[in-house]
Structure 1
């Protein structure tokens, strides 16, 4: 059976990581958000703050590696995808490089794209999630716009506990 790649996008702090952990607990293959991995590495936060273009390039390299390493019999759910990198650059007011635009077109997700909408009740900044609430809403608009601009339809996740969200996703994979 070929790999079916799905993704979860949307607002920072909207429960994506918690949801992926629940999907993984249920046996679904998941791929962690590459930006968080970079931010946790030495110099990652400084790179994001001081050189957003280089940070976007680092995300692209990590996303391509995650894509190429994906091996599964059945669905794989990514925490974000290539259009999220384009959305990040939009939020930063920076141009999307040709390499990122090409990746958005050439590496197509064939499974559903789920959107975790902004959810004030659970939003909490942390060491890697530095946006305030208004910035989180702007990020959601930018990344969702990037996905749509690349031809994807988004399915909004309900504002319910992770266990119910996981069941919602599993019913659509």
Structure 2
């Protein structure tokens, strides 16, 4: 019998690599999916004049992301079938490493306490689709470095990375669903 962990599927990578498009497509096709913490936090903090923005207070932003990801994890446990995450708890550690910061003990503890399926999908940097917007301010170089930080972080925690193909969203979704069904 599969554990609950095996139903919880993380999708990671740098910004602008098609993760959110893929997760939204999975949701549109009737699958459970947790939204991206970073974008939602930026929208919420901007709406209320909060300081928990990555360009204002990286420590607060990381704490807000951690809280969001833990909440999403608990939400997912109440679901049946697979649940897809647009980033996950280990991404908070990856974000801190990207910034050259130490990963606090409580973040390490959260990574251990909230495990996902051992195979994590990672979206490679894709310059042809990369765009900035109101929430995504990262340069192309930072997007590439974020991908590297996420790959190193997930590998460090023992996850197996499955690289998503650079193809249209529907083909990416079929790729993911084939891997998940095995």
Q: Same-fold call, TM > 0.5?
A: yes
Secondary structure at the aligned position of 1:96 is classed as coil
- Which residue of the partner structure matches residue 130 of structure 1? 137
Q: CA deviation at 1:112?
A: 2.8
Range 155-164 or range 93-102, more displaced: 93-102
Say if 1:7 and 1:111, in contact at 8 Å, map to a contact too. Answer: no
How many residues were matched structurally? 173
Select the residue among 39, 42, 45 that pairs with 2:42: 39
Range 75-84 or range 36-45, more displaced: 36-45
Q: CA deviation at 1:43?
A: 3.7
Gaps of 5+ in 2: none
Gaps of 5+ in 1: none
- Which residue of the partner structure matches residue 17 of structure 2? 14
Counterpart check, 1:110 vs 2:117? yes
Deviations 1:12-52 (A, max 9, x none): 10001111111111111100011111010134575322221
Aligned-residue RMSD, C-alpha:
1.5
Q: TM-score, normalised by structure 2?
A: 0.90
Counterpart check, 1:171 vs 2:173? no
Deviations 1:87-127 (A, max 9, x none): 11111121111111111111100263100000011000111
- Which residue of the partner structure matches residue 56 of structure 1? 62
Q: Could you tell me how far apart the structure 1 residues matched to 2:52 and 2:67 are? A: 18
Deviations 1:133-168 (A, max 9, x none): 111000110111111111101100000000000000
Say if 1:19 and 1:162, in contact at 8 Å, map to a contact too. Answer: yes
Q: TM-score, normalised by structure 1?
A: 0.94
